Structure 1
């Protein structure tokens, strides 16, 4: 047999991998416009779904972070009276009682110190304004106002109860007395 060279026009298209022969139908401009519009609609839906998925991912990540940081805020609020009571107990001790019950008092002081350590570990910070500090309505709660001679209006006179922050959120404002002096 002699090698015959086939004329390219004599070749028939080979079947595709799926076994079906290619089909070349021509579409008119109207059908092409309809397909393009459908393609654009699907692209728009896809982009919206992609944006929704990204927004959901970001929202769930933010919710997870907030739950991690602020999830214990109810427990923290419930522990604040324990802090207050330990502090009041230490402030009420006289020198005579301190001498008689040194070990007990040391135990209460250590307990309060450990509570402060646990608070710090979980992002809880103490707000303890001192007399003369400027009143800040964002972190202080005015319990009374008094015109005390020698003080400037808007300064803290006395702190009745410490306040607390949980990271950047206020758990409880510090309860203070404020000067109302004008000069």
Structure 2
């Protein structure tokens, strides 16, 4: 009697097993490569997160006091105005009061400097710098060049290397002929 489907012989079975093993081996290699890629990406993400956290920590340490420093600037301005408003007569009549205001202003300045807040103190004749100054007005003033500071209204301040508040100044425009 003849068979329609002859049974595979041992050689054919070996080839089939080798093919299945090769397929499994290829699948395992592909899975390994995918897992290695995912692992390397996870390592890179972890390193980036560490660097970002370190940078954020440094910035928070250095610039975390920005709001407090900005809130203290009007106190500085008012103490300075009080001293500027004192006449010679007031200084002799209320010497202790003036000295107290002066000491308070100096202490505030020392504390601000200790925390990285430094003044920007332009003077008349300096060149206007839009990175550090805010022009409050322009006026043609004889004997000046366009862009020169002619009046300082308030000092500016830096917090480390960042502008906290620009100095408010008046700037000379081109003198009229």
Shorter-chain TM range is 0.7 to 0.9
Structure 1 range deviating more: 93-102 or 171-180:
93-102
Once residues 85 and 121 of structure 2 are traced to their aligned partners in structure 1, the CA distance between those partners, rounded to angstroms, is: 18
Match of 2:107 in 1: 114
Match of 1:87 in 2: 80
Secondary structure of 1:28's counterpart equals helix
Q: Offset of 1:101 from its aligned partner?
A: 1.5
Which 4+ runs in 1 deviate beyond 4 A?
Answer: none
- Give the paired residue count: 159
Secondary structure of 1:179's counterpart equals strand
Once residues 50 and 66 of structure 2 are traced to their aligned partners in structure 1, the CA distance between those partners, rounded to angstroms, is: 24
Q: Offset of 1:65 from its aligned partner?
A: 1.1
Match of 1:126 in 2: 119
CA deviation map 1:147-182 (0-9, x unaligned): 100001101111101111111111111100000025
Q: Can you give the 5+ residue segments of structure 1 that lack an aligned partner in the other structure? A: 1-24
Which residue of 69, 72, 80 maps to 2:65? 72
What is the root-mean-square deviation in Å for CA atoms of aligned residues? 1.6
1:98 lines up with 2:81 in the alignment = no
Once residues 166 and 67 of structure 2 are traced to their aligned partners in structure 1, the CA distance between those partners, rounded to angstroms, is: 15
Match of 2:150 in 1: 157
CA deviation map 1:61-82 (0-9, x unaligned): 1111111111111111111000
Q: Offset of 1:28 from its aligned partner?
A: 2.9
CA deviation map 1:28-86 (0-9, x unaligned): 33222221111111110000000111111111111111111111111111110000000
Match of 2:159 in 1: 166
Q: Can you give the 5+ residue segments of structure 2 that lack an aligned partner in the other structure? A: 1-16
Once residues 43 and 175 of structure 2 are traced to their aligned partners in structure 1, the CA distance between those partners, rounded to angstroms, is: 61
Once residues 126 and 103 of structure 1 are traced to their aligned partners in structure 2, the CA distance between those partners, rounded to angstroms, is: 27
Q: Offset of 1:107 from its aligned partner?
A: 1.0
Match of 2:33 in 1: 40
Q: Offset of 1:140 from its aligned partner?
A: 0.6
Once residues 97 and 108 of structure 2 are traced to their aligned partners in structure 1, the CA distance between those partners, rounded to angstroms, is: 17
Once residues 79 and 57 of structure 2 are traced to their aligned partners in structure 1, the CA distance between those partners, rounded to angstroms, is: 34
